[in-house]
Structure 1
Amino acid sequence: MSNHIGIVEDDPNIQNIVAAYLKKDGFTVTVLGSAEQAWDLWEGNPPDMWVLDIMLPGMDGYEFCKKIRRESEVPIIIISAKDEEIDKILGLELGGDDYLTKPFSPRELVARVKRLFKRTHYKADHDDSLTQKVKAENLLIYKDDRRLFWRGEERDVTTKEFDMLLLFAENPNRAFSREELLIRVWGNDYFGSDRAVDDLIKRIRKKLVDIPLETVWGFGYRLRNEGS
């Protein structure tokens, strides 16, 4: 069964081009012209990924992204004519996994869709018996299930929060520079500011109170683990 992608875009030309390229690569596609229609789809036949425009009639893409993130970690690629750095940071802070500025190459979008599916392991048919556990202090991560527990309590985290915490947990006490964290979590083709790292760390600290995630001044961050 092919992965199902919901395209939320009100421009018919972009709808048709994006849908055609994704279908050509074997994806199942549902095209929606508004966030309200997309929410109806989410409640009835939720996609495995969203390709989401920001400027929409009615509810905008930012608000839709926030609503989805309250319920799920389904991957979201934001596409927008807004190309200012602050717009990209906001989109990622609200839970977007990737941000593509219009105009863009449909082939690049397809490549990012494939990479995001591969990176997030967003599959329903994985084998629970092969689940790998990573533990650091009071942090417990089930890699294949993409579930995270802090002090014995399961916590909801975004895709990037999970990826960063997994990286730290697998490398306890190692200091990572901001530049390396950008590459390891956002990917080689991310061209935004390293402020995104600081913002993500801030959100993690707020969600996981007292996590020993230390600032290495002038360099980056590390997760302290006394048991290592």
Structure 2
Amino acid sequence: MNHTIGLVEDDPNISDIVEAYLKKEGYVIQAVDTAEKAWKIFEQHSPDLWVLDIMLPGMDGYEFCKKVRQTSEVPIIIISAKDDEVDKILGLELGGDDYLTKPFSPRELVARVKRHLKRWQVMQPDVASSNQEETIESGDLLLNDAERKVYFKGQDIEVTTKEFEMLKILASQENRAFSREELLIKVWGEDYFGSDRAVDDLVKRLRKKMKDLPIETVWGHGYRLRNERKSS
């Protein structure tokens, strides 16, 4: 089945060029000119990857990226005329997986799309291994690796792919302090070039979803999951 790409770009010239190059590679394109339209598509059935402009009318690309990351880790490639380092860092910290500055080579964009889709496929649960049910338990936290399910204090918690991977790493080695760099490589991959503050953002989201989750900050280093007895 061909991958579907969501393209959010309000400049029709850029949108047409990008769409033509991606279609040539066999991708199905859902092109829109506002983040509001893109959000409706996301709520119905998200594409396999987003190519997202930042400067948009109404909701900007940063806000759209932030909203998507609340429930999904679908790859997002940001394209923007903003080339300041602070803009790139902001885009990556809000959940972007890549950042291309306009003007860019459409061929380079296609190459990055292929790379991120390949990584995304690797991150998905292995259907062949679903028959081997594995659970990881740490205090009130229970992870079902086969079903990619998380339970905390008996409640089913909805998590994204990266959130699950982070929990799995921490819970598999309770009380061990992982550095931010180590977690970044394990969760995002060795070729991720964004800031390690992405780790802090992911931990913040997990703490928000599970208020009493015993993830401890190891100051100047990283994080660990403290081993606790189950609450009665």
What's the TM-score bracket when you normalise by the shorter of the two chains?
0.7 to 0.9
Q: What is the CA-CA distance between 1:44 and the residue it aligns to? A: 5.0
Aligned to 1:209: 211
Q: What is the CA-CA distance between 1:196 and the residue it aligns to? A: 2.7
> Does 2:202 correspond to 1:200?
yes
> Does 2:37 correspond to 1:37?
yes
Aligned to 1:183: 185
User: Which residue identity does 1:55 align to in structure 2?
Assistant: M
Tell me the secondary structure at the aligned position of residue 207 of structure 2. helix
Return the alpha-carbon distance in structure 2 between the equivalents of residues 213 and 131 of structure 1. 25
Deviations 1:18-61 (A, max 9, x none): 33443344332211122233234345554233222221122212
Deviations 1:125-149 (A, max 9, x none): 8886455433322222233543322
Unpaired runs of 5+ residues, structure 2, are none
Return the alpha-carbon distance in structure 2 between the equivalents of residues 130 and 24 of structure 1. 40
Equivalent pair of 2:214/2:226 in contact (CA under 8 Å): yes
User: Which residue identity does 1:113 align to in structure 2?
Assistant: H
Deviating more after overlay: 126-135 vs 182-191: 126-135
Q: What TM-score results when the alignment is normalised by the length of structure 1?
A: 0.78
Q: What TM-score results when the alignment is normalised by the length of structure 2?
A: 0.76
Unpaired runs of 5+ residues, structure 1, are none
* Backbone CA RMSD of aligned residues: 3.2
Equivalent pair of 1:93/1:200 in contact (CA under 8 Å): no
Aligned to 1:224: 226
Q: How does 1:68-107 map to 2 (within 5 A)?
A: 68-69=68-69, 72-73=71-72, 75-81=74-80, 82-84=82-84, 86-92=86-92, 94=94, 96-103=95-102, 104=104, 105-107=108-110
Q: What is the CA-CA distance between 1:79 and the residue it aligns to? A: 0.8
Q: What is the CA-CA distance between 1:75 and the residue it aligns to? A: 0.6
Residues 1:144 and 1:50: Cα distance change in structure 2 (over 3 Å): farther
Tell me the secondary structure at the aligned position of residue 57 of structure 2. coil
Q: How does 1:23-62 map to 2 (within 5 A)?
A: 23-43=23-43, 46-62=46-62
User: Which residue identity does 2:151 align to in structure 1?
Assistant: F
How many residues align structurally? Answer: 224
User: Which residue identity does 2:155 align to in structure 1?
Assistant: E
Equivalent pair of 1:89/1:196 in contact (CA under 8 Å): no
Return the alpha-carbon distance in structure 2 between the equivalents of residues 173 and 153 of structure 1. 23
Q: What is the CA-CA distance between 1:68 and the residue it aligns to? A: 3.9
Tell me the secondary structure at the aligned position of residue 118 of structure 2. helix
Deviating more after overlay: 41-50 vs 29-38: 41-50
Residues 1:217 and 1:34: Cα distance change in structure 2 (over 3 Å): closer
Bigger CA radius of gyration: 2
Q: What is the CA-CA distance between 1:179 and the residue it aligns to? A: 1.4
